[in-house]
Amino acid sequence: MSFVVAIDGPAAAGKGTISKAVAAHFGFAHLDTGLLYRAVGAKVIAGAEPIVAARALDPVDLENERLRTPAVAQAASEVAVIEEVRAALVAFQRSFAARADGAVLDGRDIGTVICPEADVKLFVTASAECRAERRFQELSDKGTDTTFETVLADVKQRDARDQSRAASPLIPADDAILLDTSDLTAAEAVAAAIKVVEAAR
């Protein structure tokens, strides 16, 4: 049986950094499930129909730096409300989780819907202002022309859509451990997550 770590939480809470570090530390595979929705969102921007795009999704579609833009993030959260889109992406995520060497999956519904039997469930949060500040820094470092206010509005809009949708809303699993990274450095957040996984091994 694979050892599965589910890491959920809102946009820019630190899930990506934590997931990559946990996977590297334990030698587990890592799947950023947001990329699946971003890949579908990018295809929709290019004119595809969402359900058709989700059903035809190929893993090579995920290796694309252009999926990391705010426009694609918005498109991703719009397609993510469609139940058939979500359903089309379940099998890929579950088979990834079944990898014998252990797997870390991060997203919004890993602990609640995709892997309800995960060995460890972490729900990573931070205030909207902290998350927007981090995302703003990231985008600015990449040379994206934006403002803190735009990024904050974008983060809040995606949070609201992710939390209020009927299909697999963003919500902590009953047995998830909450990790608020607002006042933690990346290194501190990673150390806290590794400790939780270590305790469950």
Which residue numbers belong to the known binding site?
A: 9-17
Residue 12 Cβ, how far from ligand C5P at the closest point, in Å?
7
Q: Which residues bind ligand C5P (CB under 6 A)?
A: 11, 33-34, 37-38, 73, 76-77, 80, 107-109, 158, 162
- As a whole number of angstroms, the distance between CA 198 and CA 22 comes to 10
- As a whole number of angstroms, the distance between CA 97 and CA 43 comes to 25
Residue 37 Cβ, how far from ligand C5P at the closest point, in Å?
3
CB 125 within 8 A of CB 8: no
Taking residue 44's Cβ as centre, other Cβ atoms within 10 Å add up to: 20
DSSP string over 51-108: HHHHHT--GGGG--GGGGSHHHHHHHHHHTT-HHHHHHHHHHHHHHHT-TT-EEEEES
Please, which residue, 42 or 109, has the CB nearer to ligand C5P? 109
Binding residues for ATP: 9-17
Please, which residue, 108 or 121, has the CB nearer to ligand C5P? 108
Please, which residue, 28 or 96, has the CB nearer to ligand C5P? 96
Residue 8 Cβ, how far from ligand C5P at the closest point, in Å?
7
Please, which residue, 44 or 162, has the CB nearer to ligand C5P? 162
What sign results for the dihedral spanned by CA atoms 87, 54, 168, 177? positive
Residue 39 Cβ, how far from ligand C5P at the closest point, in Å?
10
